[in-house]
Structure 1
Amino acid sequence: MSFSFFKPSRPKTPVEVAKAIKDTLAALDTKTVVEVKALEKALEEVEKNFATMRCMLSGDGENEPNADQVTQLAQEICKEDVISLLVHKLPILGWETRKDLVHCWSILLKQKVGSAYCCLQYIENHLELLDFLVVCYDSKEIALNCGNMLRDCIKFPSLAKYILESASFELFFKFVELPTFDVASDAFSTFKDLLTKHDTMVSEYLTAHYDEFFNLYENLLTSDNYVTRRQSLKLLSDFLLEPPNSHIMKRYILEVRYLKVMMTLLKV
């Protein structure tokens, strides 16, 4: 009796993993999407490569990740513009692949090359990616994935500041009242992080955009949705009571218009 022995395939290097992810994501072009079988095959390849990336970044359950490989993978993903592909191809990815992406996104953002966060720097140079993620709340299939990715970004002051001051921020006043409850709740969690994670920055924003912000916020406090009203009132107290916002709070409570809103809410 003869036996055949097969050598296990050599593990991919970080450079190879980054290139494989880039190539398979780039393959999800318009032509591929139109052809169902080609799309299925392309998505399978993407899923395999994402699983490899997740294993390299967080270990396989038995072995811890190699710190040098993790750093190198993050560096290669930035160098090869994979970050941009990860975001823009998100709507077409399968459920399991999106789950792996959210997991990897959190790890990648924390990686330093030298003294710098390489993926953070990449996003700072491609801020339109944040606008894309915000707008994705309008797509309930990927809204929760985008919400997780946004909240990871908001932990960094520079990215939170951009979203606060961008036109995209106003969309949250709509998203927190979306008819799909879990999407609306997730949008509110992101909205809350934007207004509470970096108190000094928020104070500067509210000082510069007082009228426009509180005009919009009044709509939440007077919403027909009880949950929206209750959550918005609690959030209002959370950020107004932060020490850097004391001057904002004094201005707010002295306005008869907003006092009437508060009195109405107390009667409910």
Structure 2
Amino acid sequence: MSFFFKASRPKTPQEVAKAIKESLMALDTKTVAEVKALEKALEEVEKNFATMRTMLSGDGESEPNLEQVSQLVEELCKEDVLTLIIHKLPTLGWEARKDLVHCWTILLKHKVDDKHCCVEYVEQHLELLDFLVVCYDNKEIALTCGTMLRECIKFQTLAKYILESATFVLFFKFVELPTFDVASDAFSTFKDLLTKHANVVYQFLTAHYDEFFDLYEKLLTSPNYVTRRQSLKLLSDFLLEAPNSQIMRRYILEVRYLKVMMTLLTDSSKNIQLSAFHIFKVFVANPNKPQDVKLILAKNREKLVDLLQNLSPGKGAEDEQFEEEKEFIIKEIEKISV
């Protein structure tokens, strides 16, 4: 006697979106009075996310059906599933979060009729970005949220919103969180925000110059070596970019920031000294130095010359150029008259 088992019909994109929505809604606090109910709901979410992942990226043997991908993307937006996914992040298990991160990249990149539907959805629900930023305070999901945020930041409109939102200032705290992995991840996101879209960054820095650099000074003078080193390197990365030349010109007129660079030149770390030199030299080379900048340089002439003469990047191709720049800066300092 033989039995014939009928293979289960694959779910349609509409059914997948509906199943994800229902399983996420089942995580609601009213439903999870019992531990077993929560466990069952989490298993359902995990199963549905795995189905979504297969539909979006294939099963390893066959490529994804692009028409189905488009239908799923549209359905997830139409049914507000993206909002549910983000708001339920703190409840999700590790496996579900891993699948979600994989799917999130595909969802944002996928175009339906030449439109990034999921990006447009987030543009219409910008509070989701604020939610992801605030999640850095939850170390269980911080790295998941960080990865999702960096995918969002690839799109100019979303990066612009985060920069200008009230939650942006939280990054100055998050990059110094005691959990090293979370602090490093927050710094990666912070760096992307300040380097991915040069024109957006220029507009932001122009509009929020004082507030931003007041906060940034605290990172440069942090007692934490990693914070000092990373923030100094990042400052060079975005301040020396051509679109930010006006910001740089404004920065090098301020004696308080010159003093920060002079302090960093005396740091116990050679790496920090060398990075500080690359910004310090712009203060010195500026042909329109304000009087108070000249005064500080003249007052500390001997110490600065001594410091610079002992500063060396070690052996390498850039060594010769560095020595030339250093000699030029030393001569500039020596000829300053006040």
Q: CA deviation at 1:34?
A: 2.5
What residue ranges of structure 1 are gaps of 5+ in the alignment? Answer: none
Q: Which residue of 2 aligns with 1:189?
A: 188
Residues 214-268 of structure 1 show CA distances to partners (whole Å, capped at 9, x for unaligned) of: 0000000000100000000000000001111001111111210000000101101
The structure that has the greater radius of gyration is 2
Q: Which amino acid aligns with 1:220?
A: L
Does residue 11 (structure 1) correspond to residue 6 (structure 2)? The answer is no
TM-score, normalization: structure 2? Answer: 0.78
Partner Cα separation in structure 2 for residue 157 and residue 4 of structure 1: 57
Structure 2 residue matching 1:114: 3-state secondary structure: coil
Deviates more, 1:183-192 or 1:25-34: 25-34
Q: CA deviation at 1:8?
A: 1.1
Aligned residues with identical type, % of pairs: 79
Partner Cα separation in structure 1 for residue 192 and residue 31 of structure 2: 38
Q: Which residue of 1 aligns with 2:213?
A: 214
Q: CA deviation at 1:122?
A: 0.6
What residue ranges of structure 2 are gaps of 5+ in the alignment? Answer: 268-338
- Highest RCO, 1 vs 2 (Cα 8 Å, sep ≥ 6): 1
Partner Cα separation in structure 2 for residue 211 and residue 104 of structure 1: 39
Residues 79-125 of structure 1 show CA distances to partners (whole Å, capped at 9, x for unaligned) of: 00000001000000000000001110110001112121110111000
Partner Cα separation in structure 2 for residue 241 and residue 33 of structure 1: 53
Residues 174-196 of structure 1 show CA distances to partners (whole Å, capped at 9, x for unaligned) of: 00000000000000000000000
Does residue 167 (structure 1) correspond to residue 166 (structure 2)? The answer is yes
Does residue 104 (structure 1) correspond to residue 103 (structure 2)? The answer is yes
Q: Which residue of 2 aligns with 1:126?
A: 125
Q: Which residue of 1 aligns with 2:310?
A: none
Q: Which amino acid aligns with 1:217?
A: Y
Q: Which residue of 2 aligns with 1:243?
A: 242
Q: Which residue of 1 aligns with 2:228?
A: 229
- Superposed CA RMSD in Å reads 0.6
Does residue 153 (structure 1) correspond to residue 152 (structure 2)? The answer is yes
Partner Cα separation in structure 1 for residue 244 and residue 32 of structure 2: 49
Partner Cα separation in structure 2 for residue 184 and residue 209 of structure 1: 24
Q: Which residue of 2 aligns with 1:263?
A: 262
Q: CA deviation at 1:31?
A: 1.9
Question: Aligned ranges for residues 49-68 of structure 1 at < 5 Å?
Answer: 49-68=48-67
Partner Cα separation in structure 2 for residue 32 and residue 103 of structure 1: 28
Q: CA deviation at 1:3?
A: 2.0
